[in-house]
């Protein structure tokens, strides 16, 4: 048992350290992008089209002559801004909704759940494309669409926890002491139900990054010349048949690293929130 605890603790510490280091790197890129980028991320240079990686352009240039390294750095701002904003909005909206529909089991709660069923019955990517096409290909519109898609997930998580807590003895004791429904929900139930939703935040940010990049890849996300990883991969993929591998490779690696960051952090948070899963009885 001691060996199991030591192994699990080491794995948790390593994962958390890796996740924090990768997240710190991305924060540095976001904050210091103007100083770290050797060129403008949106200025085309027809004289340096599709230049291979070199000392002048470390990641090469794309079909418009824009420096790929500079665009990858600035795209960190765009992709994380969209993803974090969308997930934060979904969390703020979904948690209270899940709390209410879990605590009050009535016609309104049933109707809300049917609306969530309707939203989640469509493939996430397809409904995302449809909503962005209707609302317009702007950064904030993409964030709003992703928030709409993630609200049902957070609401369902909280609702499931509330349903398991609302009939517990300590809730009955709170009722007997004269606590109002609001006090019971926000003082007694929510603190005990919020942990799964908090853990889900990190995982959802990774999903949002993939969805943002995917929407841009198929032309339903942000538009040129905005530096965005999925858009860069889409533009670079068209040149791969000509042997221009760098235009799609480096933004693709940026997506992998960013998603991996939040996946690792989410796994670490899950283990921290559930000690029993690490053998800590």
- pLDDT value, residue 10: 60
Structural tokens at position 219: 């032309």
Q: For the chain, which domains are there?
A: 2-41+58-278 (1.10.3720.10)
Query: From the CA atom positions of the chain, what is the Rg in Å?
Result: 23
pLDDT tens profile 26-56: 999 999 999 999 999 988 888 888 899 999 9
Q: Which of the residue ranges 87-91, 251-255, 269-273 would you say has the lowest mean pLDDT?
A: 269-273
In degrees and rounded to multiples of 5, residue 67 shows phi and psi of -70, 120
- pLDDT value, residue 83: 93
Residue 281 has pLDDT above 70, yes or no: no
Cα 263 to Cα 96: distance, rounded to the nearest angstrom? 25
Residue 236 has pLDDT above 70, yes or no: yes
Whole-structure pTM value: 0.87
Cα 164 to Cα 158: distance, rounded to the nearest angstrom? 10
- pLDDT value, residue 9: 53
pLDDT tens profile 128-141: 778 877 777 778 88
Asked if residues 149 and 93 have their Cβ atoms less than 8 Å apart, the reply is no
Confidence of residue 260 (pLDDT cuts 50, 70, 90): very high
Q: How many CB atoms lie within 10 A of CB 2?
A: 7
In degrees and rounded to multiples of 5, residue 168 shows phi and psi of -70, 155
């Amino acid at each position: 048992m001691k060996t199991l605890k030591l192994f699990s603790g080491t794995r948790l510490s390593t994962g958390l350290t890796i996740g924090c280091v990768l997240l710190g790197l991305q924060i540095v890129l976001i904050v210091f992008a103007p100083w770290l980028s050797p060129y403008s991320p949106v200025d085309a240079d027809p004289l340096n089209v599709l230049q291979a990686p070199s000392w002048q352009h470390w990641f090469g240039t794309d079909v418009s002559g824009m420096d790929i390294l500079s665009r990858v750095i600035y795209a960190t701002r765009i992709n994380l801004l969209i993803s974090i904003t969308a997930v934060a909005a979904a969390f703020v909206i979904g948690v209270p909704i899940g709390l209410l529909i879990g605590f009050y089991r009535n016609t309104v709660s049933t109707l809300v759940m049917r609306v969530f069923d309707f939203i989640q019955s469509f493939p996430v990517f397809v409904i995302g494309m449809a909503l962005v096409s209707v609302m317009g290909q702007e950064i904030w519109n993409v964030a709003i669409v992703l928030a709409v898609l993630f609200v049902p997930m957070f609401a369902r998580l909280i609702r499931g926890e509330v349903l398991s807590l609302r009939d517990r003895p300590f809730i009955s004791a709170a009722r007997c002491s004269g606590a109002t429904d609001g006090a019971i929900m926000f003082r007694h139930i929510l603190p005990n139900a919020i942990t799964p939703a908090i853990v889900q935040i990190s995982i959802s940010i990774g999903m949002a990054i993939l969805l943002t990049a995917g929407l841009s890849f198929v032309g339903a996300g942000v538009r040129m010349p905005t530096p965005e990883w999925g858009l860069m991969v889409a533009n670079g993929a068209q040149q791969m048949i000509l042997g221009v591998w760098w235009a799609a490779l480096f933004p693709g690696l940026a997506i992998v690293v960013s998603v991996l960051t939040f996946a690792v952090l989410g796994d670490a948070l899950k283990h921290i929130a559930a000690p029993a899963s690490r053998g800590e009885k």
